[in-house]
């Protein structure tokens, strides 16, 4: 079996920035075990697979090296980029049916715009000493606040604290204790950004995700309320880094960014 593959850097102005995603178009669905094996072989934070179901409509699934996930923003953006630039150049919008409902991506002069379901966080009642353990695991001071949504969210006062974190450290065991597999760390922004963040998901085979669309469905409503702003400029300050323009649209979060083609090839399985 031969399958086409594209590697797209999402939320990037040029290759080697943003978050790389593998995109594999299919005629019909493969066995989940095979898709998982391909994602493990690609060894990127996500590999996206899609199947066409109608004009501008596709079913879409995402796999990390260790498992299928319910939502992935950057690989959705990357999938749309492959369709717009390579497979369906007449399209200006595409609708993806996913585990998280329908996701719509449109293209314009300044890049791609995607809407995702918002996931506003709630205060997290952490066990005694948990915040201190989080700080120790990440090699920094404890977070000032903890919140819970799809992921655990830690809030710090200084964006430099977020930038200076060395990586996920020993965070996996602490997240597991509270039934989380991912953590977003964030602070109000600097350098003309409204907020900054990073994202760790070691139990999914992603020690640090370069730019995470799904975490911004949590951070966007959170910072919109804190800052009193609807549209904001966000920076994920991972070693690769990436820029997003985010808009709090109530039940939906709107993410905008650019994509860059890094590689295309063929899989032999």
pLDDT of 109: 77
Regarding whether 77 and 139 lie in a shared domain, the answer is no
pLDDT of 120: 97
Regarding whether 203 and 133 lie in a shared domain, the answer is yes
Please identify every residue annotated as catalytic: 46
Residue 43 located in a structural domain: yes
Distance CA 32, CA 51 (A): 14
Number of domains in the chain: 2
Regarding whether 78 and 33 lie in a shared domain, the answer is yes
Residue 179 located in a structural domain: yes
Residue 152: give the domain boundaries: 122-250
Per the document, the length of the chain is 269
Residue 69 located in a structural domain: yes
Regarding whether 70 and 20 lie in a shared domain, the answer is yes
pLDDT of 163: 97
Regarding whether 262 and 144 lie in a shared domain, the answer is no
CATH of the domain at 66: 3.10.310.10
Regarding whether 218 and 263 lie in a shared domain, the answer is no
Regarding whether 64 and 82 lie in a shared domain, the answer is yes
Distance CA 193, CA 178 (A): 31
pLDDT of 227: 98
pLDDT of 115: 92
Distance CA 58, CA 103 (A): 10
pLDDT of 171: 96
Residue 240 located in a structural domain: yes
Regarding whether 244 and 175 lie in a shared domain, the answer is yes
Residue 117 located in a structural domain: no
Residue 141 located in a structural domain: yes
pLDDT average per 10 residues of sequence, the chain (269 residues): 97 93 98 98 97 98 96 96 97 97 91 95 97 97 98 98 95 97 97 97 94 96 98 96 94 95 97
pLDDT of 110: 78
Backbone φ and ψ for 89, nearest 5 degrees, come out as -65, -15
Residue 106 located in a structural domain: yes
Regarding whether 11 and 88 lie in a shared domain, the answer is yes
Regarding whether 146 and 74 lie in a shared domain, the answer is no
């Amino acid at each position: 079996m031969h399958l086409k593959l594209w590697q797209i850097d999402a939320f990037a102005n040029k290759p080697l920035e943003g978050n790389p995603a593998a995109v594999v178009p299919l005629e019909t669905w493969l066995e989940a075990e095979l898709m998982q094996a391909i994602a493990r072989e690609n060894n990127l934070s996500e590999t996206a697979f899609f199947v066409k179901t109608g004009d501008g409509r596709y079913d879409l699934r995402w796999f990390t090296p260790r498992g299928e996930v319910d939502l992935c923003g950057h690989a959705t953006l990357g999938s749309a980029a492959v369709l717009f630039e390579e497979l369906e150049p007449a399209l200006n919008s595409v609708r993806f049916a996913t585990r998280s409902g329908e996701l719509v991506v449109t293209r314009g002069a300044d890049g791609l715009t995607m809407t995702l379901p918002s996931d506003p966080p709630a205060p997290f009642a952490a066990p005694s000493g948990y915040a201190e353990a989080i700080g120790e695991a990440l090699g920094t001071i404890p977070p000032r606040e903890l919140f819970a949504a799809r992921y655990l969210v830690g809030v710090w006062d200084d964006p430099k604290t977020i930038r200076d974190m060395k990586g996920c450290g020993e965070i996996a065991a602490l997240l597991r204790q509270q039934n989380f597999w991912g953590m977003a760390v964030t602070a109000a922004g600097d350098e003309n950004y409204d907020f900054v963040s990073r994202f760790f998901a070691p139990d999914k085979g992603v020690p640090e995700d370069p730019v995470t669309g799904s975490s911004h469905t949590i951070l966007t409503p959170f910072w919109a309320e804190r800052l009193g702003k609807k549209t904001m400029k966000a920076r994920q300050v991972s070693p690769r880094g990436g820029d997003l323009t985010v808009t709090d649209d109530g039940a939906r979060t709107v993410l905008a960014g650019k994509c860059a083609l890094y590689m295309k090839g063929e899989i032999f399985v």
